[in-house]
Amino acid sequence: MTTGRIAGARRPAWAWALALVAVAAAASPLIAYWLTNPDDQRLVDLDVYRTGGWALLRGLPVYDVITPAPQLLPFTYPPVAAMLAVPLAAMSWPVAQWVWTIAIVAVLAVTVRHAFRACLDGVRGALAAPALFAVLCAACMYLMPIRDQVRFGQVDLFLLSLCLLDCVVRRPWWPRGMLIGLATAVKLTPGVFLVYLAVTAFAPRDADPGRSGTAPSGPRQRHGDIAQRGDAAQRRALFMAVFTAAVLTLLPFLVITDDARDFWFGALLDSERLGANAATTNQSLRGMLLRLYLPDTLTSAVWLAAVAAVGWYGFRQARRAHLDGDAMTAVALTGLMAVLLSPVAWIHHIAWIVVVIAAVAGSGRDPVRLLVAAGVWLYYVLPIPWWGVSIKALEIPILSPVAGKVVQNAFGLGAIGLVWLLGSWLPRRRAAVTTAAAVPAAKA
């Protein structure tokens, strides 16, 4: 993990204020659209959170209560999440909608500021960075996974921000690892960052992060040395994350014992509480396999093998990125593991695409990386999986069942491709650019 503060020349406060106004203006059409649709279709996941908090306030079993018709959705999160949702339940429904939606936009702005730090701090001029920040926030706001955050009133962006800040803020005022522990206790899937901390905390110190048997040199060696000297800090972060998650997991057993028992020994084991696992919106490895409608035993076997293969490659490349000093790529790869390895990953769970685009763009000085980042952005702006549903509905022999299914899985297949892009293509691209820049200097 890195240390220090966000670098860069000071920009006038009024420029950043104008940038925030521009961000709010860009988000306004999206907010107006989703906050004016029929009430029973509005921010349905926020209603789930409030229902969990409401059940606690009324002394009702959290995992037996469902939201009003027509949604009829159960509370699916760990019991500590219901405890944290009590303030939402205490608000009126209109106030909760506005508070939560404004918070989503604010958290996106924080996420963009830290994810694109290398790019923002590299631009010159008093107005350039605030203007670029506003453009990036607006662009990220209209990514389909982010649009769905507003549509459903989802919590994913908050959890993403906790994990991102814990990994990249250079001098945090909190014990590093605490935010990852909090996020893991609230929704379990951020637990992939416990794996990330483990594989980086105990990385071997006598091996080159890239190729074995080759003596590294230059910036790569310096980054590796810095990262390896930071292993003790990674271990402290891991212990803090595990401690925080454990405390917040055990706490409900003391204060809402029945609900804690109901979740850990009942609701957690019922994946159908999350919704139709084979639906288009489930873009995890398991979701894509379920849509093949193979025998259950075969589906489970293939899924476990795929999880092992993708997990091994993804965490290995995240560790390599960490040792290379590229924390943003490491975080992006780990976030993609949360999407792909989870049994259920709805489209809004792919909010990690913001960090992926930032990692690909880097400092913004390589036009090839910028072009690739723009392509990734466009791919996840378009509702491509739903095009697959439309193709299947045409019932054209061969085309509909084959091409339709591939297109239906577009975001999940894209996530697999992004793991390769970040883990293999990006390091080679950085090395090529560094080599190309070094040749003229050597001749001079």
- Average pLDDT, integer, range 387-406: 92
Residue 10 pLDDT: 67
Instruction: Look up tokens 């996840």; give the residue.
Output: 380
**Alpha-carbon distance values, 403 to 202, 406, 409 (Å):** 44, 5, 10
| Chain segment 225-255, per-residue pLDDT in tens | 544 445 788 999 999 999 999 999 999 999 9
**Other beta carbons within 10 Å of 83:** 19
Instruction: Look up tokens 């091996």; give the residue.
Output: 207
- Average pLDDT, integer, range 407-431: 96
Residue 12 pLDDT: 85
- 444/432 Cα distance (integer angstroms): 19
Judge contact between 342 and 336, C-beta under 8 A.
Answer: no
Angle between helix 327-341 and 296-323 (nearest 10): 170
- Average pLDDT, integer, range 44-70: 93
- 231/236 Cα distance (integer angstroms): 9
| Chain segment 352-363, per-residue pLDDT in tens | 999 999 999 999
Angle between helix 353-361 and 327-341 (nearest 10): 150
Residue 211 pLDDT: 44
Residue 325, φ and ψ in degrees, nearest 5: 85, 15
- 436/410 Cα distance (integer angstroms): 35
Residue 260 pLDDT: 94
- 10/341 Cα distance (integer angstroms): 41
Sequence-separated (6 or more) residues with CB below 8 Å from residue 76: 48, 267, 273, 274
Provide DSSP, 75-98: P-S-HHHHHHTHHHHHS-HHHHHH
368, 348, 225: which is closest to 279 by C-alpha?
348
| Chain segment 319-350, per-residue pLDDT in tens | 999 999 999 999 999 999 999 999 999 999 99
Strand, coil or helix: 427:
helix
Judge contact between 163 and 179, C-beta under 8 A.
Answer: yes
Residue 221 has pLDDT above 70, yes or no: no
- 314/327 Cα distance (integer angstroms): 14
- 343/300 Cα distance (integer angstroms): 10
Which residues sit opposite 74 in a β-bridge? 66
Instruction: Work out the pLDDT band at 189, boundaries 50, 70, 90.
Output: very high
**Alpha-carbon distance values, 4 to 7, 122, 154, 173, 188 (Å):** 8, 16, 32, 12, 29
Judge contact between 184 and 190, C-beta under 8 A.
Answer: yes
Residue 261 pLDDT: 95
Residue 230 pLDDT: 52
- 155/159 Cα distance (integer angstroms): 7
